[in-house]
């Protein structure tokens, strides 16, 4: 199979798509359940589609471009898990083929090949979490577009206007997911390696980068949400928080093999003969990308297997050096088949309920089956607590979608500003039900009787219903 994809026949992209479908289609037919991150994105899109404005009527740290995509999907088909998965699959395939096209067109390797697309696609398929349409995946799309313009500048070695486009796409990536802004370091080294006027060229890159932010700030200024946009997103308070969605041992277990492949590729590339100066500098640039990806993982508010998306372009690049044809052609073929078998085993472990054999705890990623979440169905909720799963069967009815942000008000009920903010955010459109996980209702009734005094206990502990 390595020799098959190491050619440049026009049929190779078709077979790449068919291989991707063959790996993932059975999971669709099996009905893979929704994950917690997907539920959060669906509820956010649903809230925006109902007429709420991001950062003004919805308090969340999701990037504005990602929120726009979630709004569009909900506008098209509501909470459609199929559509979310379809868009995620399309983005992954498009990125892999586009990255491969850039490598071949710009002669990044001594010969043209489809191995980068193959390993980009497989590297983004080995765990069920990659099915999620996430801000990281959306932002990575813009980074791949930026490489197209950085590589063109690199070959021409001059102050090309395409640098503005490269910075612009990096800015769009950062508006999708803020840790992706660290990619500016890679862009800077691209300028240092190839541009004729480093200072002026990098200023042009920065101009392109900040242009989308200027547009976003202008929009939120006129929408009355600029302060919240700055506080919730641009302040970057959640960066380097090291919130693991999987236990560290499980995370290391799942990422050990793909990271070892990258390290082996780095070693083999360093010992390979590079013909062109441009190809040597590209190798240096990808090596820097690897370390920047490490920083982006550490900077992510939530770290999980999905964070490996940062490394997919690096894995795609080094796959050429990992599987170059040796004297014995069958060796890379056997190694690849073993890797493919391991990928499928991990890929289907969770859907087939065999994760116990891998000893992986995915409880933080998957929805729970507790019946308490079904006591209210199709209700308008406000959840006073971190348990987001109540929204799986109901609708969000207040700006307080993110409990970490909501705590700034609800944990400071002795502050007039916090009490006034809660009054303004709840009284206009009071939720039908309140689920109090933190025991805040007695104090809220005392502080805001005109708002929370209208609620009565509804049977279950911590559940309150709006009086009719």
Residue-wise pLDDT for 88-136, tens only, equals 999 999 999 999 999 988 888 888 889 999 999 999 988 888 888 999 9
- The continuous run of DSSP H or E covering 401 comes out as none
Q: What does the pLDDT average to over 383-409?
A: 90
Among 320, 355, 390, identify where a domain stops.
355
How far apart CA 171 and CA 260 sit, in angstroms, is 31
Transcribe 268-290 into DSSP letters.
Answer: HHHTSPP-SHHHHHHHHHHHHHH
How far apart CA 452 and CA 255 sit, in angstroms, is 48
Q: 215-245: per-residue pLDDT in tens?
A: 999 999 999 899 999 999 998 777 888 888 8
Range of the domain at 152: 2-355
User: Token pair for residue 426?
Assistant: 């709840």
Domain membership of residue 124 (yes or no) is yes
How far apart CA 401 and CA 386 sit, in angstroms, is 10
Q: Is the pLDDT of residue 328 over 70?
A: no
Helices (DSSP H) in 349-392: which residue ranges? Answer: 355-358
How far apart CA 330 and CA 172 sit, in angstroms, is 43
Domain membership of residue 85 (yes or no) is yes
Domain membership of residue 343 (yes or no) is yes
Give the number of C-alpha atoms closer than 13 A to the C-alpha of residue 334, restricted to the C-beta side.
Answer: 5
Strand order in the sheet with 455-457: 395-396, 380-384, 433-436, 463-466, 455-457
Residues 80 and 130 in one domain: yes
Q: What is the pTM of this model?
A: 0.92
Residues 194 and 283 in one domain: yes
Residues 320 and 397 in one domain: no
3 state SS of 433: strand
Instruction: Indicate if the alpha-carbon torsion angle 448, 434, 463, 461 is positive or negative.
Output: negative
Instruction: Indicate if the alpha-carbon torsion angle 371, 375, 378, 383 is positive or negative.
Output: negative
How far apart CA 395 and CA 74 sit, in angstroms, is 13
How far apart CA 96 and CA 310 sit, in angstroms, is 13
Residues 106 and 231 in one domain: yes
Residues 297 and 379 in one domain: no
Residues 141 and 236 in one domain: yes
Start-to-end C-alpha separation, the chain: 67
Domain membership of residue 231 (yes or no) is yes
Q: What does the pLDDT average to over 353-369?
A: 78
Q: For residue 322, which phi and psi values (nearest 5 degrees)? A: -70, -35
Which positions ≥6 away from 411 have C-beta within 8 Å? Answer: none
Among 293, 324, 355, identify where a domain stops.
355
Domain membership of residue 363 (yes or no) is no
How far apart CA 12 and CA 385 sit, in angstroms, is 50
Instruction: Indicate if the alpha-carbon torsion angle 157, 159, 163, 165 is positive or negative.
Output: negative
Q: What does the pLDDT average to over 157-186?
A: 88
Q: Which pLDDT score is estimated for 157?
A: 46
Residues 376 and 349 in one domain: no
Residues 384 and 278 in one domain: no
Domain membership of residue 362 (yes or no) is no
How far apart CA 152 and CA 149 sit, in angstroms, is 5
Q: Which residue has the tokens 């997103």?
A: 233
Residue 293 Cα to chain centre, angstroms: 13
Q: Is the pLDDT of residue 346 over 70?
A: yes
Domain membership of residue 375 (yes or no) is yes
Domain membership of residue 360 (yes or no) is no
Residues 196 and 108 in one domain: yes
Question: How many domains is the chain partitioned into structurally?
Answer: 2
Residues 246 and 385 in one domain: no
Q: Which pLDDT score is estimated for 326?
A: 59
Q: What does the pLDDT average to over 33-46?
A: 91
Q: 273-289: per-residue pLDDT in tens?
A: 766 778 888 899 999 99
Among 355, 379, 404, identify where a domain stops.
355
Residues 311 and 180 in one domain: yes
Neighbours of 87 (CB within 10 A): 18
Give the number of C-alpha atoms closer than 13 A to the C-alpha of residue 146, restricted to the C-beta side.
Answer: 31
Q: Is the pLDDT of residue 207 over 90?
A: yes
Confirm if 422 and 448 have CB atoms less than 8 A apart.
yes
Q: Strand 380-384 vs strand 433-436: parallel, antiparallel, or unpaired?
A: parallel
Neighbours of 463 (CB within 10 A): 18
Q: Which pLDDT score is estimated for 202?
A: 86
Q: Which pLDDT score is estimated for 327?
A: 52
How far apart CA 361 and CA 13 sit, in angstroms, is 36
Q: Which pLDDT score is estimated for 159?
A: 53
3 state SS of 113: coil
How far apart CA 347 and CA 129 sit, in angstroms, is 9
Q: Among candidates 328, 314, 440, which has minimal Cα distance to 383? A: 440
Confirm if 234 and 55 have CB atoms less than 8 A apart.
no
Q: Which pLDDT score is estimated for 274?
A: 67
Residues 339 and 273 in one domain: yes
Q: For residue 453, which phi and psi values (nearest 5 degrees)? A: -70, -10
Give strand pairing partners of 275. none
3 state SS of 20: helix
How far apart CA 409 and CA 388 sit, in angstroms, is 18
State what percent of residues in the chain have pLDDT above 70. 96
Residue 161 CB-density burial (10 A; 0-12 exposed, 13-18 middle, 19+ buried): exposed
How far apart CA 373 and CA 388 sit, in angstroms, is 10
Mean pLDDT of the residues in the chain: 88
């Amino acid at each position: 199979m390595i020799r098959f994809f190491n050619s440049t026949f026009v049929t190779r992209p078709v077979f790449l798509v068919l291989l991707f479908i063959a790996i993932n289609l059975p999971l669709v037919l099996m009905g893979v359940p929704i994950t917690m991150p997907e539920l959060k994105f669906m509820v956010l899109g649903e809230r925006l589609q109902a007429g709420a404005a991001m950062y003004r009527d919805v308090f969340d740290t999701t990037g504005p471009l990602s929120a726009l995509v979630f709004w569009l999907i909900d506008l098209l088909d509501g909470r459609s898990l199929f559509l979310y998965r379809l868009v995620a699959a399309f983005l992954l395939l498009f990125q892999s083929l586009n990255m491969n096209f850039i490598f071949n067109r710009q002669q990044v390797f001594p010969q043209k090949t489809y191995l980068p697309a193959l390993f980009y696609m497989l590297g983004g398929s080995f765990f069920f979490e990659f099915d999620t349409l996430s801000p990281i995946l959306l932002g990575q799309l813009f980074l791949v577009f930026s490489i197209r313009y950085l590589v063109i500048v690199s070959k021409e070695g001059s102050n090309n206007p395409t640098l503005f486009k490269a910075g612009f796409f990096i800015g769009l990536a950062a508006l999708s997911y803020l840790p992706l802004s660290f990619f500016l370091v890679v862009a800077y080294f691209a300028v240092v390696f190839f541009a004729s006027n480093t200072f002026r060229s990098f200023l042009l890159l920065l101009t392109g980068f900040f242009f989308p932010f200027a547009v976003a700030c202008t929009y939120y200024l006129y929408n009355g949400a600029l302060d919240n946009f700055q506080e919730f997103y641009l302040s970057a308070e959640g960066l380097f928080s090291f919130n693991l969605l999987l236990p560290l041992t499980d995370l290391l277990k799942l990422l050990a093999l793909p990271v070892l492949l990258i390290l082996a590729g780095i070693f083999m590339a360093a010992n390979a003969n590079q013909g062109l100066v441009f190809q040597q500098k590209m190798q240096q640039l990808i090596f820097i990308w690897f370390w920047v990806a490490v920083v982006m993982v550490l900077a992510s508010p939530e770290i999980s297997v999905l964070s490996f998306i940062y490394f997919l372009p690096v894995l795609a690049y080094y796959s050429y050096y990992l599987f170059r044809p040796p004297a014995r052609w069958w060796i890379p073929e056997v190694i690849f088949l073993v890797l493919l078998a391991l990928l499928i085993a991990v890929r289907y472990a969770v859907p087939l309920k065999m994760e116990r054999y891998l000893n992986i705890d995915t409880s933080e990623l998957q929805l729970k089956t507790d019946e308490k979440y079904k006591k209210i169905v199709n209700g308008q909720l406000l959840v006073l607590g971190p348990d987001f799963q109540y929204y799986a069967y109901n609708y969000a009815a207040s700006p307080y979608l993110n409990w970490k942000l909501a705590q700034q008000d609800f944990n400071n009920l002795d502050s007039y500003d916090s009490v006034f903010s809660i009054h303004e955010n709840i009284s206009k459109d009071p939720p039908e039900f309140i689920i109090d996980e933190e025991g805040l209702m007695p104090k809220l009734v005392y502080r805001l009787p005109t708002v929370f005094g209208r609620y009565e206990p509804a049977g279950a502990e911590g559940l309150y219903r709006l009086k009719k």
